[in-house]
Amino acid sequence: MTDVLAPTALDLARLEFRDELLASGLLVGTSVPGIYGRSGDFERVIAGLDRILGEAFAALDATVLRFPPVYPRADFERTDYIASFPDLSGIVSSFEDGDREHRELLAAREEGRAYEGWLKPADVVLTNAICHPLYATLEGTLPSGGGTYDLSGYGFRHEPSFDPMRLQSFRMREFVFVGTPDAAQLYRDTWLDTSVALLASLGLAVQAVPANDPFFGRAGKMLVSAQLRENLKVEIIVPLYGDLHEGTAIASANCQRDHLTHAFDIRTTDGEVAHGACVAFGMERTVLALVRTHGTDLEAWPVDVRALLGL
């Protein structure tokens, strides 16, 4: 009989990488898995990556928009995130009552009892996908030719893990197109190729593979098979642990079809519901893949990679 709790060789490889990152100071651990501080060196690579992404997508002449890491709960309700990914979501709660209830809360806390019952959901939720706040602002008719947007910000996904590539709070840079169905499909395919080439130029052994989102539960299985069958999601993966694992996604290129545009009633000039497409880069994941590939000492990275990143 095998012990179900015994770590696999892959678990051990991930733990070893995590230890290496903590020992080098690139990541600073906290008491919660998937929440780390990052060093100055780590941020220098993030900044270089951010810059070259902007340059690679400059031809889009995209509208630059930045949103905070929370957005209105009313907009979250218009997406079906809580149906598809209840386990990943993060609802903010706060205290809204008076002195009496506050005293009750403090008394419970003093006794070591749970006091969440005195908190209520606030009017914001943590942003899970940084394009959701954008879609929420686009209700109505798009300009002719559609819209192209350059987004960057923190996303939250409640997926605590000892795998240093699986964070709970991480940055994404996204280039989003909203327009006609054909233009959205063409956008996804074209910019996927650009993205693969850019990441390969950093010395990463990237590969583009069909993928699916981790839809929750029994109903989610149908969404997974539709996503794969219709090739709606492609991930750019990098192998990090030799033969132990096929690779970890550092970016994705997605056809959202009318999924969010329908929810937010976004239309093209011909009155039809628009289609959305996005290319999303995981900033920390990409830096970590670079560290895994080139080592924890940035000074020792290949000269061309250092030059590209401005290190």
Which residue lies nearer to ligand AMP by CB, 105 or 237? 237
**Residue from 284, 308, 307, 306 nearest 297 by CA:** 306
Residue 131 interaction partner, one of Zn ion, ligand AMP, none, beta carbon < 5-8 Å per kind: Zn ion
Residue 278 interaction partner, one of Zn ion, ligand AMP, none, beta carbon < 5-8 Å per kind: Zn ion
Residues 6+ apart with CB under 8 A from 77: none
Which residue lies nearer to ligand AMP by CB, 239 or 282? 282
Burial tier of 163 (Cβ tally within 10 Å: 0-12, 13-18, 19+): buried
- Rounded to the nearest whole angstrom, what is the least distance from the CB of residue 258 to ligand AMP in the complex? 18
Are 246 and 239 contacting, i.e. CB atoms less than 8 angstroms apart? Answer: yes
- Rounded to the nearest whole angstrom, what is the least distance from the CB of residue 150 to ligand AMP in the complex? 15
**How far out from the chain centre does Cα 259 lie?**
18
Residue nearest to ligand AMP (CB): 282
List contacts with ligand AMP (CB under 6 A). Answer: 129, 157, 159, 166-167, 170, 172, 235, 249-252, 280, 282, 284-285
User: Which residues on neighbouring strands pair with residue 150, listed in sequence order?
Assistant: 64, 175
- Rounded to the nearest whole angstrom, what is the least distance from the CB of residue 129 to Zn ion in the complex? 5
List contacts with Zn ion (CB under 5 A). Answer: 131, 278
Which residue lies nearer to ligand AMP by CB, 49 or 129? 129
Which residue lies nearer to ligand AMP by CB, 251 or 291? 251
User: Which residues on neighbouring strands pair with residue 93, listed in sequence order?
Assistant: 121
| Dist CA 81 CA 157 (whole Å) | 11
